[in-house]
Amino acid sequence: MMLPQSPDVASLKALIRREIETLRADVGEGAAAAPPRADRAVAADTVPACACGLGTGPSHSCSDTGEGHDPWACLCATLPAVPVSAALLSPVRDANGRITDFLVRAGNHVRSVDWLPSPDQQTGSLFTEARPGVASCGLIDALREVVETGRALTGRVVDHTEEREGTLRRVQLVHYAASCDGQVLTTWHAVRNQAEMLTIDAQHLASMGWGRWDLLSGGVTWSEGMQRIFRSDPALPWTLLELCDALVPADAGPFGEFLSSVLAGEEPAWTRVRFMVLGEERTVDLLGRPVTDTDGRSWAVQIVAHDLTPQMRSRRRVLAKQDEADRLRRQAAAERHVAATLREALLPSYSEGLADLGLTAAAAYLPAEQDAAVGGDWFKCRPLADGQALIAIGDASGHGLEAVARMAQQRYAVAGLAQTGADAGTVTTWLNELVAGDWAVDTATVAICFYGPDRVLRWASAGHPAPLLLRGERAFDLPTGHRGPLLGALPGHPYETAEFPVLPGDVLLLYTDGVVERRGQDIEVGLDQLTDSLADCRGMTPRQVVDRLAEEYVRSAHDDDACLLAVRFE
């Protein structure tokens, strides 16, 4: 079977047809030329006699031992040749002539299932006594109809239940029966034996099936697993040519090479090809071998198929999810880069002009994770034209570029409003109206402080944690009785300004809630820990205070980004 360089489906089918035609022609010529062998001609009168019930192999058993019974003319003499359970039954009639049962006259040695006796062990018994299960499954009525009408019973499936050795057993049996001179010849076999059921289950679980193609007769035999893979009618298995028609055209080459290898006698031959089955592409592994004659010529093909379609479908879903995850990771990385760059541009550590006002400041932005999206935490510390210093910190909700955009809006708004000379409460009230008036902006928190030459800190808070003050060896939070709601939560709310005098050497610490919030821990515990940590920073510069607290933040498990701003009053 020689394939062209790049075969298509049509050329592959033509090659298969030629291969089959050549095989049939060669075999036909050989059969016609073979002379009859002398040892095959046997005269009829030399056939050895075999008396009924005798012989070395299994035989039938006949209950008719009456005078004049001719075992050679007895139908039961043919029963040993029947490959399934078989019995010859005689009707038993009541006083009205109605058939009520059957007598088992003869039976062969074949058991339909291992727990039912063979029919030859039941000769001479009534059928309902030998097989109690037939009384309840309607089989007696069916056999009666065979005798009365003469119509054969073909393929009647009955659920046969009997008690054997103290245990109820059940099996589905297929019965055939025909009337013969007033008697009934009946055969039966199990619908499937246990080995067949296990084979079918194994094919289903492993998504496998097998098929056999007879190249001489054209006959095709498929297992149930093969029918399931190709969604075919069990009575109409596909020929090799029909398999070719279902191929994905690009796989005609691999399938042709596979068949060539099988017919050439290579064992095992393997390939992976795709078929279009009811509009769905199915990926199938094929393992094949030839069935050869004594001269080595392949006259049939056996193929085992393994359906990989569910695995391939799952793999495609996994790859699609991986691609989507990679795309999202790239998008998130780009967003983090842009946000981080924007934050660096927006948040200088502190203003050098504060020294003229007797202030020293340091700040830090603390991401919860190295690769986490940048959040909306911000701070502002700068001198104002009226001789005061603006010290502010805030937290716009969310993460990523949207949070950075809201952070920038609020930070610049505070810086601009502070130039008006309004007090901290008024600036916070205006900022609240700005946030509340933008439907795209969620809530936010802010603490705004003004520090002037009179050494008084005037500040307002919108839902923000209270600033901490380190004075000597003691750290404490500023009173928050005037604190108002979150920005944007209550439009029109007037925020108040509180005053707190500071002393030389005091260190003011402003922070966002990410510093004190920890998973599974009450926020009050975090506040106490931060206060204690600040108390341990006595005598340190603002830079040292921020670095020390940042180290503790990194060592702890945090879910949110944070900002720290420390200001020392000289």
Amino acid present at 151: R
What pLDDT, on the 0 to 100 scale, is given for residue 43?
Answer: 40
What pLDDT, on the 0 to 100 scale, is given for residue 38?
Answer: 45
Lowest mean pLDDT among 9-13, 195-199, 236-240, 274-278: 195-199
User: Is residue 165 predicted with pLDDT exceeding 50?
Assistant: yes
User: Is residue 59 predicted with pLDDT exceeding 80?
Assistant: no
What pLDDT, on the 0 to 100 scale, is given for residue 316?
Answer: 79
User: Is residue 68 predicted with pLDDT exceeding 80?
Assistant: no
What pLDDT, on the 0 to 100 scale, is given for residue 421?
Answer: 93
When pLDDT is cut at 50, 70 and 90, the band that residue 423 belongs to is very high
What pLDDT, on the 0 to 100 scale, is given for residue 53?
Answer: 38
DSSP 487: B
Distance from C-alpha of 108 to C-alpha of 59, rounded to nearest angstrom: 7
Half-sphere exposure of 199 (CA within 13 A, CB side): 11
Cβ neighbour number for residue 146 with a 10 Å cutoff: 22
What token pair was written down for 159? 């659920």
Report the run of H or E that residue 145 belongs to, with start and end: helix 139-149
When pLDDT is cut at 50, 70 and 90, the band that residue 70 belongs to is low
What pLDDT, on the 0 to 100 scale, is given for residue 136?
Answer: 81
What pLDDT, on the 0 to 100 scale, is given for residue 265?
Answer: 76
Q: What is the mean pLDDT of the chain?
A: 84
Q: How many helical (H) and strand (E) elements, i.e. helices and strands, does the chain have?
A: 12, 21
The more confidently predicted of residues 543 and 69 is 543
Determine if the peptide bond prior to 58 is cis (ω within 30°): no
What's the residue count for the chain?
A: 570
Distance from C-alpha of 23 to C-alpha of 25, rounded to nearest angstrom: 5
Cβ neighbour number for residue 114 with a 10 Å cutoff: 9
Nearest to 172 by CA among 129, 139, 200: 139
Nearest to 343 by CA among 394, 382, 378: 378
When pLDDT is cut at 50, 70 and 90, the band that residue 299 belongs to is confident
What token pair was written down for 185? 């010849």
Contact 499, 456 (CB under 8 A): yes
Nearest to 567 by CA among 357, 367, 421: 357
pLDDT digits (tens, 9 = 90+) for 466-492: 999 999 999 999 999 999 999 999 999
Distance from C-alpha of 506 to C-alpha of 538, rounded to nearest angstrom: 10
Cβ neighbour number for residue 405 with a 10 Å cutoff: 17
Average pLDDT over every residue of 277-301: 86
SS (H, E, C) 291-328: EECCCCCEEEEEEEEEECHHHHHHHHHHHHHHHHHHHH
pLDDT digits (tens, 9 = 90+) for 502-531: 999 999 999 999 899 887 788 899 999 999
Average pLDDT over every residue of 414-435: 95
Average pLDDT over every residue of 438-464: 92
Average pLDDT over every residue of 175-198: 81
User: Is residue 205 predicted with pLDDT exceeding 90?
Assistant: no
When pLDDT is cut at 50, 70 and 90, the band that residue 69 belongs to is low
Lowest mean pLDDT among 224-228, 396-400, 513-517, 544-548: 396-400
Lowest mean pLDDT among 347-351, 422-426, 486-490: 347-351
Helix (H, G, I), strand (E, B) or coil at 117: coil
When pLDDT is cut at 50, 70 and 90, the band that residue 555 belongs to is confident
Lowest mean pLDDT among 334-343, 360-369, 443-452: 334-343
Contact 530, 564 (CB under 8 A): no
Residue 264 main-chain phi, psi, to 5 deg: -80, -5
When pLDDT is cut at 50, 70 and 90, the band that residue 104 belongs to is very high
Domains belonging to the chain, first-starting first, are: 9-24+195-313 (3.30.450.20), 82-191 (3.30.450.20), 346-569 (3.60.40.10)
When pLDDT is cut at 50, 70 and 90, the band that residue 20 belongs to is confident
DSSP string for residues in 384-446: -TTS-EEEEEEEEEEEHHHHHHHHHHHHHHHHHHHTTT--HHHHHHHHHHHHHT-TT---EEE
Cβ neighbour number for residue 541 with a 10 Å cutoff: 14
Average pLDDT over every residue of 156-162: 83
Residue 265 Rama label (left phi>0; alpha psi -120 to 50; beta): left
pLDDT digits (tens, 9 = 90+) for 370-406: 555 567 888 999 999 999 999 999 998 877 677 778 8
Answer whether 0.85 is exceeded by the pTM: no
Residue 446 main-chain phi, psi, to 5 deg: -160, 145
User: Is residue 49 predicted with pLDDT exceeding 90?
Assistant: no
What pLDDT, on the 0 to 100 scale, is given for residue 313?
Answer: 81
Average pLDDT over every residue of 43-49: 38
What pLDDT, on the 0 to 100 scale, is given for residue 500?
Answer: 97
Nearest to 549 by CA among 566, 568, 561, 525: 566
User: Is residue 47 predicted with pLDDT exceeding 80?
Assistant: no
When pLDDT is cut at 50, 70 and 90, the band that residue 293 belongs to is confident
Average pLDDT over every residue of 276-292: 91
Residue 375 Rama label (left phi>0; alpha psi -120 to 50; beta): beta
Contact 87, 107 (CB under 8 A): yes
The terminus-to-terminus CA distance of the chain in angstroms comes to 99
Taking CA atoms, 494 is separated from 177, 294, 324, 337, 463, in Å, by: 101, 105, 48, 38, 13
Q: What percent of the chain stands above pLDDT 70?
A: 82
